[in-house]
Amino acid sequence: MSLIENIIRPEVRALAAYHVPDSTGFVKLDAMENPYTLPEALRAELGRRLADVALNRYPVPSYSGLKQRIRARLGVPAGFDVVLGNGSDELISMVSVACAKPGAKVLAPVPGFVMYEMSARFAGMEFIGVDLRPDFSLDLEAMLAVIAAHRPAVTYLAYPNNPTGNLFDEGAMLKILEAVGDTGIVIVDEAYQPFAQASFMPRLPDFPNLVVMRTVSKLGLAGIRLGYMSASPGLLNEFEKVRPPYNINVLTQAAAEFVLDHADVLDAQAASLRAERERVVQALAGFDGVKTYPSAANFLLLRITAPGLDAATVHARLMQAGVLIKNVGKMHASLQNCLRVTVSTAEENTIFLNALQTALAS
């Protein structure tokens, strides 16, 4: 056996690393980022704030000021706290580490966010994916059957879902929470909540097994890598035990505290993106050869239906035109010939629409 085979777990060797394509020179519409920057005056003030940060000192590990701002400005119920992570990815990893008892399983609808499965496998847990229905809604009966048969330790429900963009039925999600009961936790991942304006955060007091996870990445702060999750005090205490010390660096902390003090700017940007989302949807309705799925996120899922064309060809033509979006066709059988595009500024959205129209007609 080789050195790698001797030391690396087979389930890790079988995985592919998370790939991020080079976006240099492209109109970048592949990663669901907020295209807007802060206003010039706020950027200057933030620069002064960051210049005063003590880079020679570790962060104060309680992060009390940042947590207080998150609780006050982002809708965390009274009496509930948050655990912070280096993006949602680290929070997902922390949950996996905390819950990876022998034989523990993770359940999620598929297609969904790939890190649910990857993180479960990294922790040595079995992942069970339940196919969404053809319209990308939850297959409630199948989910409940898996819960009854396997009693997963962790069930993920993205709200809205990535890469499909839709909000799952609230009643179905409540039934899943009730079915899981005290044998596991249900994580409602609200990474795109600013664009959905729907949330399970207010339901935290009603469900001891509910965890609500969010990130500030989609709000316009993807570069600082900050996620947070809230749950009952008992659950949060256990997750806090596996949080790496000083996992939020002092620059992230200072930037997040500053921007959350100006949350109205982020709210206005999210409103602009919601309006642009509707404009792009209406424009796409007039395109032959493409189907657009309903979205409550800051991206749209498209299916190429034009005779003689497929998503790979359209994707390649868009790249030739300098527009980078995501070809999700290989993620799951139900996504065949599907592309995912980020909703951006009016200018970039228009560039995309013109490039797509040309790609479909070529």
Q: At a CB cut-off of 8 Å and minimum separation 6, what does 333 contact?
A: none
Residue 148: CB atoms within 10 A of its CB come to: 9
Domains of the chain: 3-38+264-361 (3.90.1150.10), 57-262 (3.40.640.10)
DSSP states of 264-310: HHHHHHHHHHHHHHHHHHHHHTT-TTEEE---SSSEEEEEE-STT--
Q: Which DSSP letter does residue 191 get?
A: T
Provide the pLDDT for residue 200. Answer: 98
Q: Where are the strands (E) in 67-137, listed by range?
A: 83-85, 105-110, 126-131
Distance CA 189, CA 196 (A): 12
Structure tokens at 8: 């690396």
Q: What is the pLDDT of residue 5?
A: 87
Q: What is the pLDDT of residue 222?
A: 85
Give residue-wise pLDDT tens across range 281-310: 999 999 999 999 999 999 999 999 999 999
- Residue 133: the pLDDT is 98
Q: Give the closest residue to 224 by CA, choosing from 250, 195, 194.
A: 250
* pLDDT beneath 70, residues of the chain: 18
Cα separation, 180 vs 143, in Å, equals 10
- Residue whose pair of structure tokens reads 């706290």 in the numeric block: 81
180-237 per-position pLDDT tens digit = 999 999 999 999 999 998 999 999 999 999 999 999 887 778 888 999 999 999 999 9
* pLDDT digit string, tens, across residues 50-65: 999 999 999 988 999 9
Cα(87)–Cα(226) distance, integer angstroms? 4
